[in-house]
Amino acid sequence: MSTYSNQCAIVGVGENQRSRKSGTTPLHMALTAARNALTDAGLEAKDLDGIMNYSTGGDSCPSHELATYLGCHPKYVKDISGGGSSTELLIADAVALIEAGMLETVLIYRSMNGSSGDKVGRGYDPDMLQSMLPGGSFIMPYGSASPTQWFGMFANRHMHETGITKEHLGHVCISFYEHAQRNPNAFLNGKPLDMETYLATPDISMPFNIHDCCVELDEANAIIVTSASNAKNCKSKPVFIAGMAPRTTHSHVHYWTQVDEVAADHAAADLYKSAGVKPEDIQVASIYDCFSWVVMRQLEAYGFAKRGEVGDFVAAGNLKMGGSLPSNTAGGMLSEGYTHGMNNVLELVRQLRHDYKGTDRQVKDCELGISTGWAGPDIAGAMILRN
C-alpha cells in the first residue's frame, strides 16, 4: 500500500505575527496567514479550490468566511472540530481529494486567540465541560479540567514504568528552548533555559512545571497542498507528501484509563509502511509537543528510541542541532508558540526546502522528515515529508 507516493506536495506556508494579545479576530489573523502562504507559493486566492480548517469549541473562523474575504469561491470548504493531529488528518483529506481528481489546490489553516481568547490551559466552564466532554461528569467533579492534569496523569504512569525522570523531561524543554534562541519569531526567543532553572521551577500539576507546557498564544498558520504536477508551476520548492497515517485507539476521548498502548504506536507502523522508509532514515522531525512528556512517548512509539531508553536518548542531546534527530527546530510549541501542531509542520517544510541554508538553524542536507500529531493517547496522525 502506497497511496501517497509523492503525488502531492506542500507548496506554501505562512503565519501571522504571534502574540499574547492580538487585539484582533481569528478571521483577521487567518487572512494574514493565508495571504502569506499564497505569496510563498506564488499563487493567488482564485487558484484555491478547497479550504479546510480545524477548531476547538468554535475558537477559529469558518473556511467559507475566510474564502469570502480572500475574495475567492472555492469548490469545497470543510471545518472540523479537532486539536492535535488535525493538521496531518486534513492534509490527508486534501491528498485524497486531489488524487481523486476532485480538487487541485487546498489551503488548510488554524487560527486561534489561544492566549487572549479561549485558553485551553486555563480550563473551561465546568457545566459546559460536563455536557460537552464524553465522560466529563466523571472527571470535572474531581477538579481535573486542565490538560496539564489529564496529560500529567499519564506521564506519571509512563515515567513510573520506563524510568523517565523529571530531569529527562527537562532535556526536552532545554533542547527546544535552545532552538528558539535561533528563531527571532519564537515567543521565547531571548529566554534560554538551563537545567538548574528548570528543576527549580515549581510544578503546576506534577510532573509538569510551566516549561513542560506549550506557550499559548494568539496566532494563525496556513499550509497549501497541491498536486505534484501543479507544484511545478509554483514559486517555492515543493515538499512532497511521502506517507501518512491516522489512528484512534481508546474508547473514550477524555476518560483515559491506560497508556500502555497509544494511538501513536499503531500510526507509526502504518506510517513507515506507507512511505517505505524506516525510523533511522528520518533526518529532521516535528514531534507534537503540547507537553514535554508527549514527546517522550512519541519517540518511543515512532521507533526513535526503545522503551526504557528514551530518557537517555534525549539527555544525550539527540533532539538538538547535530543530534541524531533534530526536532522542533523552531522551538516547538514549548517555546515558539502553540497552534495546535501546525507551526511545527511549517518549520518542517522550511527545513526540507533548506530555507535556512548558510545559517546555524539549517539541518544540513536534510531530505526526509517526520511530523507527528497527538491529540491524546487515543488519537494520532502523522506524515512523512521529503524534498
Partner 1 sequence: MTKQTAYEKPIPLKTLDNHEYWDAADRHELKLQKCAECSSFIHPPGPACPTCGSPETEWELLGSDISATVYSYIVSYRPFLPGFQHELPTVITVAALDAAPDVKIMANIIGCDPADVEIGVPLKMTWVDVTDDRALPQWMLARK
Question: Where do contacts with partner 1 occur on this chain (CB under 8 A)?
Answer: 122-123, 126-127, 129-131, 134-146, 148-149, 152-154, 156-157, 160, 202-206, 251-252, 255-259
Residue 135 or residue 303: which is nearer to partner 1 going by CB? Answer: 135
Q: How far is the CB of 161 from partner 1 (least distance, A)?
A: 9
Q: Minimum Å distance from CB 130 to partner 1?
A: 5
Query: How far apart are CB 166 and partner 1 at their closest, in Å?
Result: 13
User: With respect to partner 1, which residue has the nearer C-beta, 44 or 127?
Assistant: 127
Question: In 10 A of CB 21, how many CB atoms?
Answer: 11
Evaluate whether 346 touches 222 at the Cβ level (below 8 Å): no
Stated length of the chain: 387
Closer residue to partner 1, CB minimum distance, 157 or 182? 157
Instruction: Respond yes or no: is residue 54 known to be catalytic.
Output: no
Output the smallest distance, CB 153 to partner 1, in A.
Answer: 5
Cell numbers 542541532 correspond to: 321
d(CA 258, CA 377): 8
Residue 22 or 205 having the CB closest to partner 1: 205
* Active-site residue, 338 included: yes
Residue 76: closest CA among 97, 45, 61: 97
Nearer CB in complex with partner 1: 125/280? 125
Question: Residue 236: beta bridge partners?
Answer: none
In whole angstroms, how close is the CB of 86 to partner 1 at the nearest point? Answer: 23
d(CA 89, CA 153): 26
Catalytic residue among 69, 288, 302, 356: 288
Cβ proximity of 279 and 303 under 8 Å: yes
Residue (2 or 257) nearer to partner 1, CB: 257
State the nearest-atom distance from the C-beta of 168 to partner 1, in Å: 17
Grid cell, residue 241, equals: 507528501
Distance (Å, whole) CA 283 – CA 366: 6
Backbone Cα Rg of the chain: 19
Q: Are the beta carbons of 87 and 110 closer than 8 angstroms?
A: yes
- d(CA 101, CA 75) in angstroms, rounded, equals 12
Q: In this structure, what DSSP letter does residue 329 have?
A: T
Beta-sheet pairing, 105-113 with 218-227? antiparallel
Inter-residue contact 221 to 210 (CB < 8 Å): no
Rank residues 123 and 323 by Cβ distance to partner 1 and give the closer one: 123
The CB-of-120 to partner 1 minimum distance in angstroms stands at 11
Shortest Å, Cβ 128 to partner 1: 10
Q: Which of 298, 383, 352, 349 is nearest to 86 (CA)?
A: 383
Neighbour count for residue 253 (Cβ, 10 Å): 15
Using DSSP's 3-state secondary structure scheme, residue 23 falls into coil
d(CA 160, CA 88) in angstroms, rounded, equals: 31
Which run of H or E residues covers position 230?
helix 228-231
Contact between residue 332 and residue 248 where contact means Cβ atoms under 8 Å apart: no
Closest to partner 1 by CB, 136 vs 311, is 136
What are the residue numbers of the active site? 288, 338
